[in-house]
Amino acid sequence: MRKALCLLMTLALVLGLCACNGTGAGETTETTTGAPDTFQAGYGNTNITPQLSQGPQTLGGHSASYAEAQTDAYEKIIDDLPCTCVALTDTTGKTVLVYSLETLKVYKSILELIPTVAEGTGIPAENILVSATHNHHAPNTHPNYVNADYLKYVGEQMIAAAKLALEDRKNAKMYATSAELEGYNSCRHYIMSDGRKATTTELGQGGTPVDHVVEADNQLQLVKFVREGGKDIVMLNWQAHPYTSTSYMNIVSCTEQMRKVFEENNQLMIHFNGACGNVGYASRVPGATKYVTNQYNEAYKALAGEAIALDATYEEVQLGNLNVLSSTVKANSTNIKIYGLAFGDTAILFMPYEMFTENGMHVKSTSPFKTTILATNAMGDNGYIPSNATFEYGGYEVKSCRVGQGAAEILQLGYSELLAQLNQQKGG
């Protein structure tokens, strides 16, 4: 009897140990679920072109006021409006979704879609980062004027694009290149023949523009994910104010023009608009640009062609663990939340306003990362935040500024500090 009891106790102990080991193994498996052996990247593209069933749409970003924009329901769709998502997964199993939406800004109405996207994809909301291409010919998504059916549709298309990107994930290596491309854009602040400084909207007041106050940032930045068994994914960073000469009553997409060129070359592309606050394609200074506004198709197609031509110049760069950081910067009396994403030698900064070209160039030049992508009009909307120099002569950006002089430089410093933190924490 005693031997039998001892035998039962021993058996129970063994079974208990096995159960404990089984539970431990299960917990380990759960924490590593979805953790690949190498970094992965996936691509999804849907479109947020308005549907006829959603009724009339007002187009945002080109009228003197939102009230005027209410009368500007679109007449014709020339291009589809892409909703592009790149899914990145590191070797810890962490996944980040990065979006580029073909819309004017990431207003509060768009930000409020992020929890819905998180629920629909299973990716935590803090790992979902959304930028806008700053398209002035897309439906108005300002909270006061957005069509409710259209906004719901945008959320659905964001989820659909993310699911495509998650399903498309493949092992990837990362490469980067850049080039200075002259003649595509210019600073829209001018030195006049009588010594005055003026913005584009003030040129009709007399005088002749003879030079630009500052030069635009002509750097095209490209990061490419070369994937096993899948098309290459290219992150394209270029600053532009994507005006076009087509009627403001038409829906057009400069990004779609570029995307098609990449597709023709068997590549996938996501576009991040850089520090665009004081730049534009059209220039009043003779010889300053190759392309004027009424040639928007040719301008963007040519830009994409020059990007494709850089294929032979890519160099492999380090990939590392995904790291998302945010901080709140007090720009004068306004608290502005800024975001950054880093993976190896690359960082993407998400800017909830229109950064000016000189501030953007400073952030990039002082960054510890090999490639620093600036994504403006992202993760919020704080409008124009002009540089200190711009406040010397005013203009419509200064008049519409919500935060006052010095805010741009405070935010510039905030991004430099965020980059330093991301650099300290980067793994690989």
Cβ proximity of 350 and 207 under 8 Å: no
Q: Which residues contact 357 (CB under 8 A, 6 or more apart)?
A: 187, 214, 215, 216, 217, 239, 275, 276, 277, 278, 279
3-state secondary structure of 361: helix
Return contacts of 391-398, CB within 8 angstroms, 24+ apart: 392/197, 393/189, 393/196, 393/197, 393/198, 393/213, 394/199, 395/189, 395/198, 395/199, 395/201, 395/202, 396/199, 396/201, 396/202, 397/199, 397/277, 397/278, 397/354
Segment 83-104, tens digit of pLDDT = 999 999 999 999 999 999 999 9
Q: What is the pLDDT of residue 26?
A: 29
Q: What is the pLDDT of residue 194?
A: 85
pLDDT over 80 (residue 168): yes
What is the pTM for the complete model shown? Answer: 0.88
Cα radius of gyration rounded to whole Å, the chain? 25
Q: What is the pLDDT of residue 74?
A: 72
Cβ proximity of 198 and 258 under 8 Å: no
Q: Which residues contact 176 (CB under 8 A, 6 or more apart)?
A: 221, 222, 223, 224, 314, 315, 317, 345, 346, 370, 371
Residue 72: band (very low, low, confident or very high) from pLDDT cuts 50, 70, 90: low
Phi-psi region of 173 (alpha: psi -120 to 50; beta: other; left: phi over 0): beta
Q: Which residue has the higher pLDDT, 299 or 415?
A: 415
Residue 17: band (very low, low, confident or very high) from pLDDT cuts 50, 70, 90: very low
**Dihedral pair phi/psi, residue 294, rounded to 5°:** -75, 5
Q: Which residue has the higher pLDDT, 400 or 169?
A: 169
Give the CA angle between residues 14, 18, 21 to the nearest 5°.
Answer: 140
Segment 290-342, tens digit of pLDDT = 655 445 667 888 899 999 999 999 999 999 999 999 999 999 989 999 999 99
Average pLDDT for the chain? 85
CA 128, 134, 139, 144 dihedral sign is positive
CA 158, 164, 168, 169 dihedral sign is positive
Segment 203-228, tens digit of pLDDT = 777 778 888 888 889 999 999 999 99
Report d(CA 117, CA 128) in Å as an integer.
8
Q: What is the pLDDT of residue 11?
A: 39
pLDDT over 70 (residue 198): yes
The mean pLDDT value for 258-263 works out to 96
Q: What is the pLDDT of residue 52?
A: 74
Cβ proximity of 422 and 340 under 8 Å: yes
Q: What is the pLDDT of residue 158?
A: 98
Q: What is the pLDDT of residue 286?
A: 64
Cβ proximity of 88 and 95 under 8 Å: yes
Residue 53: band (very low, low, confident or very high) from pLDDT cuts 50, 70, 90: confident
DSSP letter at 246?
A: S
The mean pLDDT value for 104-116 works out to 96
Q: Which residues contact 261 (CB under 8 A, 6 or more apart)?
A: 301, 304, 305, 308
% of the chain residues with pLDDT over 70: 82
Task: Give me the half-sphere count of Cα atoms (radius 13 Å) on the Cβ side of residue 366.
Answer: 15
Q: What is the pLDDT of residue 8?
A: 39
